[in-house]
Amino acid sequence: MNKQSNIYTLIYIIVLVVVAGAALAFTSISLKDRQQANADADKMRQILASVKIYPPSDSIIAEYKHYVDDSYVVNINGEKEEGVDAFGVNVAQETKKAEDVRELPVYVCRLADGTRKYILPLYGAGLWGPIWGYVSIDADGSTIYGAYFAHQGETPGLGAEIEKPAFSDQFGGKELFKGERFLPIAVVKAGQAPNGDEDYVDGVSGGTITSKGVEAMLDNCLKPYARFLEIVGTNKTKQN
């Protein structure tokens, strides 16, 4: 075949595209399990961060299995849903559903001192993209023990500050219940207070929209757990 002809050039391009595509597909399939394992490990790392445990990268899975001794899914009535893998629930999709049909993952952590913490996932929207995180709650079902937040593309030095301890550490000790009322934590401008009785933290300076996104995320994601947390708190009281 004439290598200078248009037909030769066309065939050469087609073969090159097919070979390159096959190579990329093979590489993607070969790395899929490793990519998923890395994603799972990062999720475990974030869950542990909400209870102030920060293992080195080579021991994340072991530390997660050591501290998180149970996980399950509940419904809006606080009842466990059988046959659902909590770790596999797509929280981003669940937050778009009506509260009464959501699958609500719970991770139960036992710390070195024997105390139990209940870790709940969060997902919402910031200024430029999604934000997410985890909140850990004491066995009384009301007191926040720790929190972890992350983002996809918030502005460095502004909204991105939600991932820093200076922001997340404020949540420790805040209460979700005021008497019998469930009130997710408000995020307000520094020096101000909310109009209601809910506990609050200072928002990020210069990151008003991201801060309000965190507040909306807390409200949307934690309210469906209200009945479950009531049950947790009641069980704790009975044990005492």
Domain ranges of the chain: 48-239
Alpha helices in the chain (DSSP H): 6-49, 60-67, 91-94, 165-168, 208-222, 226-239
At 181-215, the pLDDT tens digits run 999 999 999 888 888 889 999 999 999 999 999 99
Pairing between strand 200-202 and 186-188? parallel
Task: Enumerate residues 6+ apart whose C-beta is below 8 A from 93.
Answer: none
> Is residue 2 over pLDDT 60?
no
User: Is the distance from CB of 76 to CB of 104 less than 8 angstroms?
Assistant: yes
Using one digit for the tens of pLDDT, what is the confidence trace for 100-124? 999 999 999 999 999 999 999 999 9
Whole-angstrom distance, CA of residue 116 vs CA of residue 69: 10
Closest CA to 223 of 87, 127, 108, 98: 98
What's residue 193's pLDDT?
85
Q: Residue 40 above 60 pLDDT?
A: yes
Q: What pLDDT is attached to residue 8?
A: 66
Mean pLDDT confidence for 225-234: 95
Q: Are 76 and 224 in contact (CB under 8 A)?
A: yes
124-181 residue pLDDT tens: 999 999 999 999 999 999 999 999 999 999 999 999 999 999 999 999 999 999 988 9
The larger pLDDT score, comparing residue 157 to residue 21, is at 157
The predicted pLDDT at position 240 comes to 57
Residue with tokens 């404020």, as numbered in its chain = 170
User: Which residues does residue 149 pair with via DSSP β-bridges, in sequence order?
Assistant: 133
Token pair listed for 144: 């926040």
Read out DSSP for 61-84? HHHHHHHEEEEEEE-TTSPEETT-
Q: How far apart are CA 79 and CA 14, in angstroms?
A: 57
